[in-house]
Amino acid sequence: MRTSGDDRPARHRDGRRAAPAVDERARELARVVWDHLVLTDLPSKADVLLALGCHDTRVAAHAARLWRDGRAPLVVVSGGNGKITAGWDETEARVFARVVLAAGVPEDALLLEETASNTGENITATRALLDRLGIAVRRGILVAKPYMTRRALATARRQWADVAWQVTGPDLGYDAYRDGGDERQLIELMVGDLQRMVVYAERGHQVPMPVPEEPWAAMEELARLGFDRHVIR
Q: What is the DSSP string of 65-134?
A: HHHHTTS-S-EEEE-S--TTTTT-SS-HHHHHHHHHHHTT--GGGEEEE----SHHHHHHHHHHHHHHTT
Q: Largest Cα–Cα distance of the chain, in whole Å?
A: 62
Predicted TM-score of the model (pTM):
0.89
User: How does pLDDT run along the chain (233 residues), one tens digit per residue?
Assistant: 222 334 445 443 444 466 788 999 999 999 999 999 999 888 899 999 999 999 999 999 999 999 999 999 999 999 998 777 777 889 999 999 999 999 999 999 999 999 999 999 999 999 999 999 999 999 999 999 999 999 999 999 999 999 999 999 999 999 999 887 899 999 999 999 999 999 999 999 999 999 999 999 999 999 999 999 999 98
CA distances, 76 to each of 60, 96, 197, 215, 228 (Å): 10, 10, 24, 32, 32
Beta bridge partners of 139: 164
CATH 2.40.70.10 fits 48-168, yes or no: no
CB atoms within 10 A of CB 78: 26
CATH 3.40.50.620 domain range(s) in the chain: 48-168
